[in-house]
Each structure stands twice: as C-alpha cells, then as structure tokens.
C-alpha cells in the first residue's frame, strides 16, 4: 500500500526576534516534540543530529541564548538532545513563587455550573506547582470537602 504524500510543517522558530519569545517554552516544546514524532525521526535520528534540529528550530535569538549558556562551559559541546532539552527546560521554565501558587490553590472554589470532575482536575493542575509533596492528594481531598457545592447533583 502506498504511503500518503503530505508535508508536515515544522514548528515556528521559538525565539526569532524581539525581546522575548512569543510563546511559552512548554507550549513550543510540546509542539516541537510532536513534530519530531510526526516526521518519525524521534528514535531514528542520532541524538547529536536531533540536537542540531532543536537548536536550529530555536531561531536566531533562541540559539544565541543557548550558546551563551555554554560560552564558558565544556559540557555544552558534547551535550546530546535530551541534555540540551533539559538545559532549555531549566533556563526557560517560568519562575514559580510557591506562596502565590499556594494562595491560588487554597482560594480555588467550585464555580457555578462547573462539574466536580472539572473542579478536581483544576485543583490537581494547580497543585503541581505547590510543592506539597506526599500531602498533595490529602490537601486536594480536604479542599474538595471544604469548598465543593453540596447542592450539585454530580457530587459523590
């Protein structure tokens, strides 16, 4: 059977111009990883070549930023794809203020018309940045018990 003939468009450069990237790093990274999976090179291309594709896809300012990270470092030269991705994750990860994330978590109440499942899913998402550790699930249960609207029919 013949393979379908279509072109998969590569992601837009992460940081081509301007004083800051136009999209969050995590969003662009997901798009890039989806792209390399879609063109079927994820496990077929050598790590060094994948790293070069990643660096090229960062765009001129993104590449310059990456190179600055390794200007005085020997580790950057031999750094393969996964290590380069981890370094970029660290560099571009949003800085999280735990106090603010705790406040957002504990202030979250179930919205009118919001299902219990959606409410719990949002609490789990908010808890990711809170660094609650092993008590995370207990705090989610406690907050649900304290704030869920008991008049909801899907409560249970």
The stretch 22-50 carries a mean pLDDT of: 91
Q: Could you tell me if 91 and 69 are in contact, meaning their C-beta atoms sit under 8 angstroms apart? A: yes
Residue with tokens 């908010």: 126
pLDDT of residue 143: 93
pTM exceeds 0.75: no
Q: What is the DSSP letter of 21?
A: -
Of the ranges 48-57, 71-80, 114-123, which one carries the lowest mean pLDDT score? 71-80
Q: Report the alpha-carbon distance of residue 92 to residue 94 in Å, rounded.
A: 6
pLDDT of residue 135: 95
Of the ranges 47-56, 90-99, 137-146, which one carries the lowest mean pLDDT score? 90-99
The stretch 71-90 carries a mean pLDDT of: 74
Q: Report the alpha-carbon distance of residue 145 to residue 139 in Å, rounded.
A: 10
pLDDT of residue 35: 94
pLDDT at 74 over 50: no
Q: Report the alpha-carbon distance of residue 148 to residue 151 in Å, rounded.
A: 9
């Amino acid at each position: 059977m013949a393979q379908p003939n279509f072109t998969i468009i590569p992601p837009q450069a992460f940081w081509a111009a301007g004083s800051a990237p136009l999209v969050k790093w995590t969003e662009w990274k997901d798009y890039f990883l989806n792209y390399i999976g879609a063109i079927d090179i994820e496990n077929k291309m050598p790590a060094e070549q994948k790293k070069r594709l990643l660096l090229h896809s960062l765009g001129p300012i993104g590449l310059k930023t990456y190179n600055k990270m390794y200007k005085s470092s020997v580790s950057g030269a031999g750094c393969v794809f996964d290590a380069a991705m981890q370094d970029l994750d660290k560099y571009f990860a949003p800085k999280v203020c735990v106090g603010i994330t705790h406040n957002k978590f504990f202030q979250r109440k179930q919205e009118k018309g919001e299902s219990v499942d959606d409410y719990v899913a949002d609490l789990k998402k908010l808890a990711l940045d809170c660094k609650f550790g092993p008590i995370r699930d207990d705090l989610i249960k406690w907050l649900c018990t304290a704030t869920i609207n008991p008049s909801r029919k899907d409560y249970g």
